[in-house]
Structure 1
Amino acid sequence: MPFALALAVLVIELTPAHFVYTGPFLVATPALAAVTMGPKGTLSAAALALAISATTATFNQAWGTLQVYTNLLALAMVSLAGFITSSAVQARRQSELDQVRRIAVAAQKVILRPVPEQLGHVRAASLGLAAGTGAQIGGDLYAAAKTPYGDRLIVGDVRGKGLAAVHAVAVALGAFREFAHYEDDLVEVMNRCTAALRREAAVPGAFDQEALMEGFTTALLAQVPDEHVVQLVNRGHPPPLKLHQGRIETLMPASPLPPLGLEDLFTCPPAKPESYPLSPGDRLLLYTDGVIEARDRDNHFFALAQAMEEIPASTSPSEFLEELHQALLRHTDGHLADDVAMILVDRLDEEGGRHPGAVPA
């Protein structure tokens, strides 16, 4: 609008219609820019208005008249006032944004806590990032706990985004953190998470109840017991990847199960944990679909398995995830289209709890 107004003044002054008094229109240009474009836009609009005023004064041979100098003085005063006002507004908005970010960080620490570096039988690390916002909380969830039944981990992805997805994440994680320590059956832990989501959606007046009822959650539960195995319960989630002796193995479920919230739409056999070998030195990656569905400029998916095989075996879990994170950012040119969550665990040996591939300190 400010630049369109300035263009209109220029057309009027350089045509036979220049008998129209255009001074108020030029003065309004920086004022409008201050409302919509910030300090830099205000300066740009003021400079344009000044250039047009000088050009039209020269074209119409009006230099030396009181009208020209009055217009220039008014333009300068309005431009200065607009710049000061827009700067103050921008500073206030930045302060409010910083406050919101601090609150988001605090919420992230409460809901998505970093997993412990070492549990009972594994070393672990986690990574979570919401797409495009810079905040570390979205619709993805992860957690890990040392329990009497072994080390238990969960990774999931809530359908949708926004506060309703964050609410569902908090509900599912709360159920996992509570019942992972008391239910010996891994399937029952998953059922508790499902029941918690259903119960929350059925509460009258619940936060964004409609979004909770219409949504669903893919989830993967993993348990690493004393034996050299990993037990999985997969509810519609991307299968985990195991790095064994430098090669990737995909742990596909033998009996696919629907995501949480869609049980009534499918007829499936009773769920039971599926076991896969996990020897000392093996690495297991649990992740969300935001990782494998990340695309580059040519619309190619991120080659997660290849990226894992290229990372040196001597890296720690946190270093391994950081390498994957950087590879993902390089693939997408730094623009993630979906939330990302990953948990990496190393199966430790039985003596001293050391990862066989680790370099001694």
Structure 2
Amino acid sequence: MPFAIAVLVVVIELSPAHFLYTGPLLTATPALAAVAMGPKGTFAAAAFALAISVTTATYNQMWGSQQVYTNFLALFLVSAASVTTSSAVHTHRQNELNQIRRIAVAAQRVLLRPVPDRLGPVRAASMYIAAETGAEIGGDLYEVLQTRYGVRMIVGDVRGKGLPAVRSAAAVLGAFREAVHYEEDLVEVINHCAAALRRERAMPRGIDQGAEEDQSESFVTALVAQVPDGPVVEFVNRGHLPPLVLSEGKVQAVMPASPLPPLGLEEFITGPPAKAESHPFACGDRLLLYTDGVTEARNSEKKFFALPEAMEALNDRTPPEFLEQLHQVLVRHTQGHLADDVAMILVDRLDEELDK
């Protein structure tokens, strides 16, 4: 808008029928720029208005008139005030943004804690990538904990976005962190997570939350895994993507023998009671748990990201190096435009010598 006004002034001043004195219009340009363009934009608008004033005064042979000098004085005063105000507002907004980001980082560290490098018989690493620029947390979740039953982990994806998704993720993670230390059966662990999600959905909301997403239709895809002392890994999959196991240079997706619906959709469970399923996981093998932000990432040709091939190509990296380079490959694949959040856990079964 400020520059459009300046162009309008040029058109009027240079027209054969000069019917309007445009000085007050130019005075408004730095004031309008200060609203949304920041200090640099405001300064540029003021400089542009000054250049137009000089040009039009010369073209119309107005130098020496009281009108021109009054216009320059007004333009100078408004420009100085606008630049000063814009700078102060910009600094205030930046301080507020920095504070919000610090709060978001603290919330992320509580909700999604970094995974220790070493837990019992495994070496691990985790990564969370928010799709929205500047965001820190979302609806994806993960956790890895060492318990008396072995190393237990969860990865999940909440349907929906915003605060309702964060609340659901927090409820599931809280239940998991408590149940893994007391429940021997993995099925009971994930049942605790489902119960916590039901309680979260049934909790009444305040008036200020009335416009948020209806939680009665939300669900969470989740995968719970356990690495005991033996050369196996156990899974309970509730509607989540199959984990990938890299063994002897080849990647295999571990599909559930009896598929189960996500958490929050227990009414669709039929058949015999669920059981944990086992898969070989020997020394030197690698396990990757992930969310659909990885596999559904597309490039400019609408091709999905080939995760198994990328996992095989990065086989010789340590867990932190693997996730960091996988992140770089994913960003290159999508040209830096992730459509969904990404959560990943990578676990290596240590060699027997290191395990001792």
CA drift of 1:266 comes to: 5.6
Residue 333, structure 1, aligned to residue 335, structure 2: yes
Residue 222, structure 1, aligned to residue 225, structure 2: yes
Residue in 2 aligned with 1:40? 40
Deviations 1:196-252 (A, max 9, x none): 010111122366785432211110000111221111111111111111111111111
DSSP-derived class of the 1:296 partner: coil
Letter in 2 for 1:277: P
Residue 348, structure 1, aligned to residue 346, structure 2: no
Residue 287, structure 1, aligned to residue 275, structure 2: no
Is contact 1:201–1:210 with CA below 8 Å preserved after alignment?
Answer: no
The farther-off stretch of 255-264 and 276-285 is: 255-264
Residue in 2 aligned with 1:95? 95
Deviations 1:143-175 (A, max 9, x none): 011112221100001111111111111111000
Is contact 1:243–1:282 with CA below 8 Å preserved after alignment?
Answer: yes
Residue in 2 aligned with 1:316? 318
Q: Give the Cα–Cα distance (whole angstroms) in 2 for the partners of residues 47 and 158 of structure 1.
A: 51
- Identity of counterpart residues, as a percentage? 67
CA drift of 1:312 comes to: 4.2
CA drift of 1:335 comes to: 2.6
DSSP-derived class of the 2:302 partner: coil
Is contact 2:156–2:221 with CA below 8 Å preserved after alignment?
Answer: yes
DSSP-derived class of the 1:279 partner: coil
Structure 1: where are the runs of 5+ without partners? Answer: 355-361
Q: Give the Cα–Cα distance (whole angstroms) in 1 for the partners of residues 214 and 318 of structure 2.
A: 39
User: Map of 1:1-361 to 2, 5 A cutoff?
Assistant: 1-205=1-205, 211-265=214-268, 267=270, 269-313=272-316, 315-353=317-355
Question: So what's the TM-score if we normalise by structure 2?
Answer: 0.94
Q: Give the Cα–Cα distance (whole angstroms) in 1 for the partners of residues 214 and 184 of structure 2.
A: 32
DSSP-derived class of the 2:230 partner: coil
Q: Give the Cα–Cα distance (whole angstroms) in 2 for the partners of residues 11 and 267 of structure 1.
A: 75
The farther-off stretch of 191-200 and 116-125 is: 116-125
CA drift of 1:141 comes to: 0.4
Structure 2: where are the runs of 5+ without partners? Answer: none
CA drift of 1:52 comes to: 2.1
Question: So what's the TM-score if we normalise by structure 1?
Answer: 0.92
Letter in 1 for 2:103: I
Letter in 1 for 2:60: N
The farther-off stretch of 142-151 and 338-347 is: 142-151
DSSP-derived class of the 2:118 partner: coil
Letter in 2 for 1:321: L
Deviations 1:76-112 (A, max 9, x none): 2211211111011111111111111111111111111
Is contact 2:164–2:213 with CA below 8 Å preserved after alignment?
Answer: no
Q: Give the Cα–Cα distance (whole angstroms) in 2 for the partners of residues 265 and 8 of structure 1.
A: 65
Is contact 2:157–2:291 with CA below 8 Å preserved after alignment?
Answer: yes
CA drift of 1:17 comes to: 4.9
CA drift of 1:265 comes to: 4.4
